[in-house]
Amino acid sequence: MAEAISDWIDVPQSKVSAFGDLTEDWQYIHIDPDMAGKTPFGGTIAHGFLMLSLFTRFSETALPPWENPDFDVVMSMNYGFDRIRFLSPVPTGSRVRARFDNPTLREKEQGKVVLHYAVTVEIEGSDQPAIVADWLFILFLAPKSRGVETAA
C-alpha cells in the first residue's frame, strides 16, 4: 500500500471547547482566548487528546478496507499505540489531516491479526507535524465462504 492521506478536518474553538467540557479539561490554553493569547502560542490550542480522538475519523477517510483472499474482517478495533509524540501544538482554527505509512501485519492468535500504521498528523501550512504515532488495530477474521454447492 502506498501512503494514505486523510481528508482535512477543521479544528474550530467550538470543537476544542466542547472537548474540554466532555473531558473536564478546562485549562486556559484550550478554552480562554484572552489568557492563551498571552502565552507563546498566541492563542488557544487544541487538546492533544482531541487530536488523538480524531484518528478514527482520519482512518475512515484515508484507509481502504483490509482485504485478504482467504479471510473476511468480521470486526476491527483500536488496539492502542506503541508510541505517541506531540511535536507541535495545533492552533484553534487550524485544519489537520493524517498520513498513514508503512502498514505491517502480524498474527496475534488464531483468527486475529494486528495491523500497525505509522501515522503523522499534519497542520495545514506548517512544516512541523502535530503528532507522530505508531497506531495498532486488531482485526478479527473469519474464513471466507467458498460457496461450495452440495449435490441434491
Taking only the tens place, the pLDDT of each residue in 31-70 is 999 999 999 999 999 999 999 999 999 999 999 888 888 8
Question: Is the four-CA dihedral 65, 67, 72, 75 of positive or negative sign?
Answer: negative
Amino acid at 48: G
Could you tell me the pTM of the whole model? 0.89
Q: What are the domain boundaries of the chain?
A: 4-11+50-143
> Which tens digit of pLDDT belongs to each residue from 66-117?
888 888 999 999 999 999 999 999 999 999 999 999 899 999 988 999 999 9
CATH (residue range 4-11+50-143): 3.10.129.10
Q: Is 5 helix (H, G, I), strand (E, B) or coil?
A: strand
Amino acid, res. 110? Q
Q: Using an 8 Å Cβ cutoff, are 32 and 24 in contact? A: no
Listing DSSP states for 96-133 in one string gives EEEEEEEEEEEEEETTEEEEEEEEEEEETT-SS-SEEE
